[in-house]
Amino acid sequence: MHIQRRIQIIFKRYLLGEGIALLLVLLYAPLLVHWYDGWFNKNISIEHEYFSHGLIGLPYAAYIAWTNRKSWLRLPNTPHPFGSFLLVLATLFYLSRLSDLVNLSLPVMLAGICLSLKGIPGLKLQGMPLLFIFLASPNHIPYLIEPYALPLQHFIAETSGLILIKIGLNVRVEEIYLYVNDRIVEVAPHCAGLKMLFTSLYVSLVLLDWTGVWSSYKKSLLFLVATSIISITSNILRNTLLTYLHGTERETLFNWLHAGWGGDLYSACILGLLVLLLNGMEKYSPNQSGN
């Protein structure tokens, strides 16, 4: 009986975990390869590009889950009945062949495994990595939001036009269109900065978790608000530059900033600015308990 009990303990602690990990790899490795290939090579749908922050977020989520492994093993095996429901739901999502549901099956499956093995304490322990995985799983929510971005598009067009007029260009603004020297530039929904805003807020969440600033509610809220302002302002500047380059027939620079690696470089600089901002907040306003 003693040997049988030890075998059961070894199976539950090691073989069961390895078996689940292997099953997840077999099921989701092709999906993750598809995501990363699309994000790297930009051969995925425009809506799915909104989730390219997963390039950073998914490895970070895996890192958090790995650092939690000892705490995970110490948790008692207290399965929650809702875990089985989530596992069935994730399986149905995966078999549906609908891209959104297949993508979302990953966080649902992982949440179901947490509940089925360790119950609510396990779900709480892995809450952050699950959140980062969920927010990086491509879906068509940005497509549903885009129609409501028209006021933002109009604001960007008006502001960009005003800046260009101040520097002496002949600019006319009509709704979301800018006319510069009889050349037209449209502030399209994809140019309204939603992707950069989503990416900036996602990276901000990663930075808040990484630095432990979560413990300060006020500082976290201030940082997220500042992130939104920086993202919107940087997008206005980018649209202004694009309009200037197109209106002055600098097509090489326009294409470099619009669809080339110049746009990626610009975005990387904005994300780097967020790191500097948070470092500055930490330096001049150290984290204190109770804030």
Q: What is the dihedral of CA 176, 177, 178, 181, to 10 degrees?
A: 180
How many angstroms separate the CA atoms of 85 and 141, rounded? 24
Given a contact cutoff of 8 angstroms between Cβ atoms, the answer to whether 267 and 231 are in contact is: no
Q: What is the pLDDT of residues 255-276, one digit of tens each?
A: 888 777 778 888 889 989 998 8
pLDDT, tens only, 96-115: 989 899 999 999 999 999 99
Domain boundaries, the chain: 2-138, 144-284
Q: Which two tokens stand for residue 150?
A: 């028209």
Facing residues of 173 across strands?
178
DSSP 190-211: GGSSHHHHHHHHHHHHHHHHHH
Helix, strand, coil shares of the chain as percentages rounded to 5?
Answer: 80, 5, 20
Q: How far is CA 237 from CA 58, 82, 192, 244, 250, in A?
A: 30, 48, 12, 10, 17
For residue 86, the SS3 value is helix
Taking only the tens place, the pLDDT of each residue in 113-152 is 999 989 999 999 999 999 999 999 998 888 888 777 788 8
In sequence order, what are the beta bridge partners of 111?
none
Residues 160, 162, 166: CA angle, nearest 5 degrees? 115
Measured CA to CA, the distance from residue 5 to residue 50 in angstroms comes to 50
Q: Which amino acid is at 272?
A: G
* pTM, full prediction: 0.85
How would residue 290 be classed by pLDDT, with cut points 50, 70 and 90? very low
Phi, psi (degrees; rounded to nearest 5) at 178: -115, 130
